[in-house]
Amino acid sequence: MTRRSAPSFGADQRADQALSALRDRLAASRIVSAALEARCLVEAACGYERADLVANGHRPLGESATRLAALAARRLAGEPLARILGAREFWGLPFSLSPATLVPRPETETLVEAALRHCSSTRGKQHPWRILDLGTGSGCIGLSLLVELPHATLVALDRSFETLMTARGNARQHGVAARVSFIAGDWGNAIRASFDLVVANPPYVAVGDIQGLEVEVRDHDPRLALDGGADGLDAYRAIARGLPNLLAADGRAFLEVGRGQDGPVRALLESTELTSFSCHADLAGILRVVSAGPSEASSGGQRRKLKFQQASFEMHPGAP
């Protein structure tokens, strides 16, 4: 994105003229969806719904002019639209964000899709699925699954308390809060239970690559959501260690991976005796999700001792 000075808007300027001017400025700064983003910013500044802008485009901006200039300046300085609006759509649902949550990415819908396909083709969507979402962030993965699976229950876990507060708000907004337990903890270490589905989109950027990320990501997504350690695989190692104890005998894990990480992540999971692998590509054809289940051998002794106790999840002190 090319940086230029922010535009100013006059109180007498019509909203539709401001919209055109802002669209041109965003396009000149190489913002791909300039028209859409300009409209969202004008709507946010004026407090309009989409239809309002069509009907009220001829009205002067009035006091909204100052607000619009401030929002435009933030966008032109590289702040992502979702951060400015404080929300992002995922799986057709609005998710509120906070500075601690990653902005949900469209490619993560590949994971939701793969998990739902598994549910439909095995016990069906009406089954009381027991789901664990590791690194829940805004809750976009786990909560989308709950919306689709009416009898499922979810444990949403994150190391950050603040993300759990945001995820809890999203759970309420989507009417599924009664089916969610929130846990603050370090991957699977905080849990003694087994699940039908374990889903995760862990941080997977190699620490040396973070500086080279786009400014929208590097300067605005939380480091805890990006930093995957020296080779980007630290979180997968920690998660893989815990999975054999977290998956029910016929359970299945779905892990999002970065470009080219499907092979190394599969190898990590194999080393913990998970088996029956499948990979799922996103719309760009990148292998984005690795899925696996326990082998016959690993589904014996140790894991059978761990029974799911739905009522046993408690918030840690200070958690939402």
- Asked if 203 interacts with ligand SAM (CB under 6 A), we say yes
How would you classify residue 135: left for phi > 0, otherwise alpha for psi between -120 and 50, otherwise beta?
A: left
Choose, by CB under 6 A, the member of 225, 240, 253, 289 that binds ligand SAM.
Answer: 225
CA 310, chain centre distance (Å): 24
CA distances from 193 to 190, 305, 317 (A): 10, 9, 20
- Asked if 183 interacts with ligand SAM (CB under 6 A), we say no
Instruction: Please say which residue, 136 or 261, places its beta carbon nearer to ligand SAM.
Output: 136
- Asked if 136 interacts with ligand SAM (CB under 6 A), we say yes
Q: How far is the CB of 305 from ligand SAM (least distance, A)?
A: 24
Choose, by CB under 6 A, the member of 135, 251, 258, 294 that binds ligand SAM.
Answer: 135
Residues near ligand SAM (CB under 6 A), total: 21
- Asked if 108 interacts with ligand SAM (CB under 6 A), we say yes
For 274, counting Cβ atoms within 10 Å of its Cβ (0-12 exposed, 13-18 middle, 19+ buried), the class is: buried
CA 86, chain centre distance (Å): 13
Region binding ligand SAM by CB under 6 A among candidate stretches 15-23, 40-48, 137-145, 240-248: 137-145
Choose, by CB under 6 A, the member of 202, 251, 293, 294 that binds ligand SAM.
Answer: 202
Choose, by CB under 6 A, the member of 158, 196, 216, 282 that binds ligand SAM.
Answer: 158
Residue 255, C-beta contacts closer than 8 angstroms, at least 6 positions apart: 111, 199, 200, 201, 202, 236, 239, 265, 269, 289, 290, 291
Residue 121, C-beta contacts closer than 8 angstroms, at least 6 positions apart: none
Q: How far is the CB of 194 from ligand SAM (least distance, A)?
A: 18
- Asked if 265 interacts with ligand SAM (CB under 6 A), we say no
Region binding ligand SAM by CB under 6 A among candidate stretches 65-73, 144-152, 198-206, 291-299: 198-206
CA 19, chain centre distance (Å): 30
- Asked if 191 interacts with ligand SAM (CB under 6 A), we say no
Instruction: Please say which residue, 202 or 251, places its beta carbon nearer to ligand SAM.
Output: 202
- Asked if 145 interacts with ligand SAM (CB under 6 A), we say no
Q: Is there a contact between 256 and 134 (Cβ–Cβ < 8 Å)? A: no
Q: How far is the CB of 265 from ligand SAM (least distance, A)?
A: 14
Q: How far is the CB of 91 from ligand SAM (least distance, A)?
A: 11
Choose, by CB under 6 A, the member of 64, 163, 166, 245 that binds ligand SAM.
Answer: 163
Strand order in the sheet with 195-200: 180-184, 153-158, 130-134, 195-200, 247-256, 287-294, 274-281
Instruction: Please say which residue, 18 or 97, places its beta carbon nearer to ligand SAM.
Output: 97
Q: How far is the CB of 254 from ligand SAM (least distance, A)?
A: 11
Q: Is there a contact between 22 and 43 (Cβ–Cβ < 8 Å)? A: no
- Asked if 104 interacts with ligand SAM (CB under 6 A), we say yes
- Asked if 137 interacts with ligand SAM (CB under 6 A), we say yes
Choose, by CB under 6 A, the member of 63, 186, 214, 314 that binds ligand SAM.
Answer: 186
State how beta strands 274-281 and 287-294 pair: antiparallel
Q: Where are the alpha helices (DSSP H) in 64-160?
A: 64-76, 81-85, 109-121, 140-148
- Measured distance CA(43)–CA(45) in Å, rounded: 6
Q: For binding to ligand SAM (CB under 6 A), which residues are involved?
A: 102, 104, 108, 135-138, 140-141, 157-160, 163, 186-187, 201-203, 224-225
